[in-house]
Amino acid sequence: MGVKFPKGFLWGGATAANQFEGAYNEDGKGLSIQDIMPKGIRGPITDEPTEDNMKLIGIDFYHRYKEDIKLFAEMGFKVFRLSIAWSRIFPNGDDKEPNEKGLQFYDNVFDELHKYGIEPLVTISHYETPLALAKNYDGWTNRKLIGFFENYVRAIFTRYKDKVKYWLTFNEINSALHAPYMSAGIWTPKEKLSKQDLYQAMHHELVASALTVKIGHEINPEFKIGCMILGVPNYPLTSKPSDVLKAMQQDRENLFFADVHARGKYPKYMNRLFKENNVKINMEPGDAEILQNTVDFISFSYYMSSCATSDPEKNKSGAGNIISGVSNPYLKASEWGWQIDPEGLRYILNLLYDRYQKPLFIVENGLGAVDKLITDEKGNKTVNDDYRINYLNDHLVQVGEAIEDGVELMGYTTWGCIDLVSASTAELKKRYGFIYVDRNDDGSGTLERYKKKSFDWYKEVIATNGESLKK
């Protein structure tokens, strides 16, 4: 027996401009914060773009989008998640006029997608703030960013109002608490950044996000605009009541962002956190009203769950992408130490749906692994990625369970449907795709694309609307 998914379920894959487009300085694009971040979130920031930064070329989607979209269409994608590189449209972020060549590029991409009946799902800001906004304004700590973002949003909403229906505002908005430079373009080093400035920056993003929803619905009432959070559910490490409370608090740290987006106001529990950390949010007149523009749906990424403990001795970090927590003794981990927990996906889907009763969208999930390119008996280059197939199958079975539980789910896009550069470590060898890209961390490789075994597997899952999954 397979798994039942609703009719019209949006199956697809997900990417981000800075991780796969390349062409970092072509056709008028300005630098983004990623262009001087060659080693990911734990590495240095360089003065200028350096050759060891794999993102500068990425996988060259900028020049190969037709070939890649054709492959997505062959798998039967209904939706493709990509982001617009803000600095392609406004090279410095604070420019008066948008860059026509940048706008044209996304016109071409959207047209190509529609040629195959694939709906674009567009992230407006995915870890790629224009560098000039980081350097000259300290990123989102500065309220002026709201105005710059508004200009950007108006430009793309007006231009693509008939080509894009599904939008996400900020990728993993809650990740700014852990990676303020990458997530919020904040130039002040994390160690020197006060909680006051950090939460004020988050306030600016939350206002900008709600304003985006307002503007979007004015420009095209058919738009479906969602928020996007990094979804890591927290389990109490033991049944000790203090561990349960700790898990609740850790969940709130993340869910705060979805709470504001879904309910249109700050939750009361934040008052205590702000008080205890001497944070006073500067709310300008009109902010509270703007926040009332709630999102149409909630989207999230899911790679792992985490454990919470009140015991400071055990509170040593396990590995994780941006948020890391205490390891769960019942779970195995990926080669990068991310704990694999398919049931956690069912759990978080139910948690979010119980909390908001808004449609949900899983916009990232997948396994980053080292793949070995081989030549099969027919002479084709491929990868036998059964580990990826198993991972995705097990997660999708749990998604089916959540749908049975009553969760309203719009779609599912696997992360890095084509191999791309990792966000946390900036590596190419951490591969997620159904499509192998011949490019390596030393810069070698032909950039040729090859179908992995999971390519046909996912094609079948989509064609059968989940019936082919193995429970």
The set of catalytic residues is: 172, 364
87 part of the interface to ligand BGP, by CB under 6 A: no
Q: Which is nearer to ligand BGP, 15 or 327 (CB)?
A: 15
* Between 291 and 304, CB nearer to ligand BGP: 304
From candidates 321, 339, 365, 382, binder to ligand BGP by CB under 6 A: 321
Nearest distance from C-beta of residue 179 to ligand BGP, angstroms: 9
* Residue for token pair 């870890």: 127
Q: Which is closer to ligand BGP, CB of 142 or CB of 425?
A: 425
For residue 430, state whether it binds ligand BGP (rule: CB under 6 A). Answer: yes
Closer to ligand BGP by Cβ: residue 16 or 469: 16
Contact between 422 and ligand BGP by CB under 6 A: the answer reads: yes
Q: Report CA torsion sign: 329, 333, 339, 345.
A: negative
37 is an interface residue for ligand BGP by CB under 6 A:
no
Compute the distance between CA of residue 452 and CA of residue 162 in angstroms, rounded to an integer: 34
- Contacting range for ligand BGP; rule: CB under 6 A; set: 218-226, 347-355, 424-432, 448-456: 424-432
User: Of 128, 138, 172, 205, which lies in the binding site for ligand BGP, with binding defined by CB under 6 A?
Assistant: 172
CA distance 384 to 382: 7
Helix (H, G, I), strand (E, B) or coil at 90: coil
Q: What is the DSSP string of 195-207?
A: HHHHHHHHHHHHH
- Comparing CB distances to ligand BGP, the nearer of 19 and 310 is 19
Neighbours of 275 (CB within 10 A): 10
For residue 392, give the nearest of 438, 337, 336, 453 by alpha carbon: 453
In contact, 224 and 165? CB cutoff 8 Å: yes
Over its C-alpha atoms, the chain yields an Rg (Å, rounded) of 21
What number of chain residues touch ligand BGP (CB under 6 A)? 16
Binding-site member from 142, 200, 254, 301 for ligand BGP (CB under 6 A): 301
Q: How far is the CB of 230 from ligand BGP (least distance, A)?
A: 6
Shortest CB 321 distance to ligand BGP, Å: 5
With CB under 6 A as the contact rule, the residue among 145, 322, 352, 362 that binds ligand BGP is 322
Assess contact for 382 and 450: CB atoms under 8 A. Answer: yes
Instruction: Give me the residues paired with residue 308 across strands.
Output: 236
Query: In the structure encoding, which two tokens stand for residue 286, read together?
Result: 């009109």
Binding mask 53-82 for ligand BGP (x = CB under 6 A): ------------------------------
- If the CB atoms of residues 172 and 259 are measured against ligand BGP, the closer one turns out to be 172
> From the CB of 207, what's the least distance to ligand BGP, in Å?
22
- Judged by CB under 6 A, which of 3, 11, 13, 16 binds ligand BGP? 16
Render 220-286 in DSSP notation, one character per residue.
-TT-EEEEEEEE--EEESSS-HHHHHHHHHHHHHHHHHHHHHHHSS--THHHHHHHHTT----PPTT
Torsion of CA 305, 310, 315, 321, to 10 degrees: 30
Q: Compute the least distance from the CB of residue 171 to ligand BGP, in Å.
A: 5
Q: Which of 163, 207, 201, 169 has its CA nearest to residue 185? A: 201
**149 vs 170 by CB, closer to ligand BGP:** 170
What is the distance of C-alpha 261 from the center of its chain? 16
Contact residues: ligand BGP, CB under 6 A = 16, 19, 171-172, 230, 301, 321-322, 364, 368, 415, 422-425, 430
